[in-house]
Amino acid sequence: DIVGSGYSVRPCYEDRTDYPFPALKWKANTPDVVALKDKELGEWKNLTMEERKDLYRASFCQTFSEMNAPTGEWKQIFSATLLVCTASALWMWWCEHFIFAKQLPES
Residue-wise pLDDT for 73-92, tens only, equals 999 999 999 999 999 999 99
Task: Give the mean model confidence (pLDDT) for residues 32-58.
Answer: 89
- Helix/strand/coil (H/E/C) assignment for every residue in 26-57: CCCCCHHHHHHHHHHCCCHHHCCHHHHHHHHH
What totals of helices (H) and strands (E) does the chain contain, helices first? 4, 0
How many whole angstroms separate alpha carbon 58 and alpha carbon 60? 6
Instruction: State the pLDDT at residue 79.
Output: 98
For the cut 80, the answer to whether the pLDDT of residue 70 exceeds it is yes
Residue-wise pLDDT for 49-62, tens only, equals 999 999 888 989 89
Amino acid at 12: C
- How much of the chain exceeds pLDDT 90, in percent? 35
For the cut 80, the answer to whether the pLDDT of residue 48 exceeds it is yes
Instruction: State the pLDDT at residue 1.
Output: 76
Neighbours of 61 (CB within 10 A): 14
